[in-house]
Chain A
Amino acid sequence: MNKVMFFAHLRDAVGEESVSVDLTGKTVAESKVILSEQYGVNLDSVMAAVNEEFAGDEDVLSDGDVVAFIPPVSGG
């Protein structure tokens, strides 16, 4: 299983700060598709961190990895 955390407006859209989903063996890109469908959030151009480290689209998740989705924001 994996803990998946959402930040900023993604958290509001999902309704929870984190969810438990099994993404073991999936890439970050595949995980984004699965989570987008399941929770109705748009994860295009959202940064992903795996165990607090920046992760690219092709990185593969292992059991127990903590995934965080951080949307780049533009306000200033």
Chain B
Amino acid sequence: MDDRYSRQILFSPIGKSGQDKLGSKHVLMIGAGALGSGNGEVLTRAGVGKLTIVDRDYVEASNLQRQQLYTEEDVRAKLPKAIAAEKRLRAINSRIEIVPIVGDASPDILEELVADVDLILDATDNFETRMAINDISQKYKIPWIYGACVGSFGMSFTIIPGKTPCLNCLLKRIPIQGMTCDTGGIIGPAVQMVIAHQSAEVLKILVEDWEAVRDSFASFDLWRNQYTSMKMGKAKDPGCLSCGDLREYPYLDKENLSRSIVLCGRDTVQIRPPRQSELNLADLADQLVRLGYVVKANPYLLSVEMEEQRVVLFKDGRGLVHGTKDMSQARSIYQRLLG
């Protein structure tokens, strides 16, 4: 196994010293869906020192078409994605440290996690989390790499605090989301193209080849054969509230954190608990069964079957209410179960 990284070391911009650097670095990856699967695999095979994976979801059949780490067995077991990803990545490379976290990448959790992190990799599916990542990146001066895709379209941009514009400079506010992810579907090659852009940037940054880092905003449509590279020098906004002179990191403010959100393209609402808490899943399962609910459980979550909806409750107190997009209905179902 000693030559496992030999082909990467032969690549001169990395070399032996680059490989040693890779092996000493810690990447925080937010999301373990399509982008997280592919990026996680590239970094694990490349021999990054430590990979922390945060994901709030579990594996479902509709993921298998593009989320390359997961299997039908993971679907049957309803494994949380962070756990299923860890299992597969450990089998690929037992030498690196992998830390799975089943939970929401809320500003609180991000603040706890970034202590020794060298880079944050965006593999999320929503702008609320990305804006929080963006503020954390600026506050702690940690580079992060935005990547996203829908249909056959994808994009990526590398954000380096103090050097490049940040996501808040570009967007000014959280964009309206439903129009892109709910309706557009997604094909595997678009995912792979974004992964290639993001993971190449990760390697450059981890081996500290700063000159090689892409400073343009890349976007492409693999079906329509379009590729654009937008120069970003003029995008930096001195008045930006995330990276400007009078910065206040607006997306780390807990007041702005929504208690419930409709998940991208899923006919599902996520409910966050009113305060950070840990559920005793075994006790809760017993209680719900006594009340007549049909409950399936694994060590990480409970799935409660109801007539119209299915509710999945996680240890960290979150609930995913499937079968509705109505937030108030979802909240009342969640409260019915948790009393």
Contact = CB atoms under 8 A, between A and B. Distances in A.
Interface in A50-72: 52-56, 68, 70-72
A54 B180 contact: no
B172 interface: yes
B155 interface: yes
A45 interface: yes
Contact of B180 (A8, A53, A55, A56): A8
B180 A71 contact: yes
A76 B148 contact: yes
Given A11-B224, A68-B228, A45 B171 contact: yes
B150 A75 contact: yes
A49 B124 contact: no
Contacts of B235: 54, 56
Given A7-B153, A8-B151, A76-B34, A54 B224 contact: no
> A9, A17, A49, A72 — which one has the most chain B CB atoms within 10 A of its CB?
A72
Nearest to A47: B170
B228 A7 contact: yes
Nearest to A56: B234
Interface of chain A, helix or strand or loop or mixed?
Answer: loop
B91 interface: no
Contacts of B230: 47, 49, 52-54, 68, 70
Contacts of A72: 127, 148, 155, 170-171, 175
Contacts, number: 114
A74 interface: yes
A7 B125 CA distance: 19
A36 interface: no
Nearest to A55: B234
B40 interface: no
Nearest to B165: A54
Interface string A6-28: 01110100000100000000000
Interface string B228-269: 111111110000000000000000000000000000110000
Contacts of A55: 234
A54 B217 contact: yes
Interface of A: 7-9, 11, 17, 42, 44-45, 47, 49, 52-56, 68, 70-76
25 contacts: A7-B219, A8-B180, A9-B184, A17-B224, A47-B217, A53-B233, A53-B234, A54-B165, A54-B232, A54-B235, A70-B217, A72-B127, A72-B170, A72-B171, A73-B148, A73-B153, A73-B181, A74-B130, A74-B180, A75-B148, A75-B181, A75-B186, A76-B33, A76-B35, A76-B122
